[in-house]
Structure 1
Amino acid sequence: MRNILITGAAGGLGSAMVKRFIEAGDFVFAADLNLGAAENLANLYPGKVTAIELDVASSPSVQLAIATITEEHTIHALINNAGVQYRAKIEDFPEEQWDHLQNIMLKGPFLMTKAIFPHMKKQGFGNIVNISSVHGVMATPEKVAYVAAKHGVIGLTRVAALEGAAFGINVNAVLPGPVKTPLLEKQLTDLHDRHGLSEEQALAEIVYPKQAMKRFITSEEIADSVYFLASKYASGITGETISVSGGM
């Protein structure tokens, strides 16, 4: 049995990842800023999940979480999944929202990697899977902070892979396409409120012209890819990105 640490575990993608690892026989530390939501998730899997309150943008919070877990347990894999979104044109984009998105989605994975690397180096093995996005390799208007952060995650992944390879640490990134999580549903609602677009219109005009499969990707499809990269089946893979986007 392995110990898996997942950030943003109570969200749509995070909860699917928790379920996938539990089904494979692993134990999960479900970390989330919303401790109540993480505890509700843990209650679904008695004895198989421990809920942890974690602010990935806070160095003290990250260090405390890693120290608490590693005091008694080995962390075999870290999944950096926590994420948020905000849309606005560049000239209207609030500076505080830029900082907020960068802190959670780029600084957060950096702080988590920085804190866990010494433990993984000492034990001589480990897996880190970062959740980037198709927006880590492409762009969409009004998502300047999100796109910048997700590009940065790929850079972080590649540097960490180089530094971790000699110590048996694999670091890779998954690039999800459109998944109908609460985060994306909020974006669709915002498009309706701001531009009068229905969900069908938004998908037909914005998403589907860029995507071969013309459908949502499921949370389970993302979780399967994350599990693969964190498993023995991907032992020879590091510094890579896998786009799970339906050909976007």
Structure 2
Amino acid sequence: MEEARVALVTGAASGLGRAVAERLSREGLRVVASDRDPGGAAVAEAIGGAFVQADLADPAEVWRLAVEAGKAFGRVDVLVNNAGFQHVAPLERFPLDVWQQMQQVMVTAPFQLIRSHMKPMKERGWGRIVNMGSIHAVVASPYKAAYVTAKHALLGLTRAAALEAGGTGVTVNAVCPAYVRTPLVERQIADQAANLGLDESEVVERVMLEPAAIKRLVEPEEVAALVAFLVSDEAGAITGGCLPVDLGWTAR
């Protein structure tokens, strides 16, 4: 019987990361869930996985995560770089320390984890890396300069890594959803309302949903389903992609 593959999912304590961890577990993968929130331990326990608590804002913690994730089940076959956060503010008032932290968590930490796990994936002749992008990897919105910059950079990292991994059995892709029904998005509504001078209901209708063809939020499980396909054997011909789950946002 073939041994189950092992997936490392960052930001797995809640929201999209939790949905991905749960879906991959249902697909038969052993999951190493990671988050700075100790609540991720309950997610890992529920799916029979392992938990590594780590704050990706600290580069030393990322290197430790890379090592401990590999030890949990002996290797890492699938890497899902999902961890991220949002801060909404005008550029002229955007805190430099928050800017730097966002680039570390959403660009440098994925680079560190790819750097750690791509070589053994290549040596085994099989691997899947999925970076959680956003529609903001391809379009921009006001008051989100740090997030937009990070997601654009993450897409560039995805494409470069895909080219380097070509022909080795390792694929690298970015999944780029629109607004997903998660705690991260819910926290943005009040911030956006304050910055734009709108009611919170107007933020949902005029900012989050107005550009979309389908007028609703994306469900976490819909994104997790795409991730599950990308890490399967059947997706071996897909690499370097920015795959939208965007309700038609970028069709304009």
- TM over 0.5, yes or no? yes
TM-score (norm 2): 0.92
Distance 2:248 2:158 in 1: 22
Structure 1 residue 242 corresponds to structure 2 residue 237:
no
Aligned-pair CA distance for 1:116: 1.0
Could you tell me which residue of structure 1 aligns to residue 216 of structure 2?
215
Helix, strand or coil at the partner of 1:158:
helix
Deviations 1:65-90 (A, max 9, x none): 22233345121100000001001111
Could you tell me which residue of structure 2 aligns to residue 74 of structure 1?
75
Q: Is the 8 A contact 1:102 1:149 kept in 2?
A: yes
Distance 1:194 1:60, change over 3 A: closer
Structure 1 residue 206 corresponds to structure 2 residue 187:
no
Task: Report 1:153-168 matches (<5 A).
Answer: 153-168=154-169
Distance 1:209 1:192, change over 3 A: closer
Helix, strand or coil at the partner of 2:239:
coil
Q: Is the 8 A contact 1:76 1:125 kept in 2?
A: yes
Q: Runs of 4 or more off by more than 6 Å in structure 1?
A: none
Q: Is the 8 A contact 2:169 2:236 kept in 1?
A: no
Q: Which range moved further: 201-210 or 148-157?
A: 201-210
Distance 1:132 1:195 in 2: 24
Q: What stretches of structure 1 of length at least 5 have no aligned partner?
A: none
Which residue of 39, 42, 58 corresponds with 2:41?
39
Could you tell me which residue of structure 2 aligns to residue 225 of structure 1?
226
Q: What stretches of structure 2 of length at least 5 have no aligned partner?
A: none
Distance 1:62 1:209 in 2: 37
Distance 1:55 1:164 in 2: 27
Distance 1:178 1:201 in 2: 15
Aligned-pair CA distance for 1:23: 1.1
Aligned-pair CA distance for 1:199: 3.4
Helix, strand or coil at the partner of 1:166:
coil
Distance 1:128 1:147 in 2: 21
Could you tell me which residue of structure 2 aligns to residue 23 of structure 1?
26
TM-score (norm 1): 0.94
Q: Is the 8 A contact 2:209 2:217 kept in 1?
A: no
Instruction: Compute the RMSD of aligned alpha carbons.
Output: 1.5
Distance 2:199 2:29 in 1: 41
Instruction: In structure 1, give the amino acid aligned to 2:108.
Output: K
Distance 1:219 1:210, change over 3 A: same
Could you tell me which residue of structure 2 aligns to residue 9 of structure 1?
12
Deviations 1:13-34 (A, max 9, x none): 0110011011111110001112
Distance 2:192 2:142 in 1: 12
Aligned-pair CA distance for 1:203: 1.8
Helix, strand or coil at the partner of 2:130:
strand
Distance 2:7 2:87 in 1: 29
Helix, strand or coil at the partner of 1:127:
strand
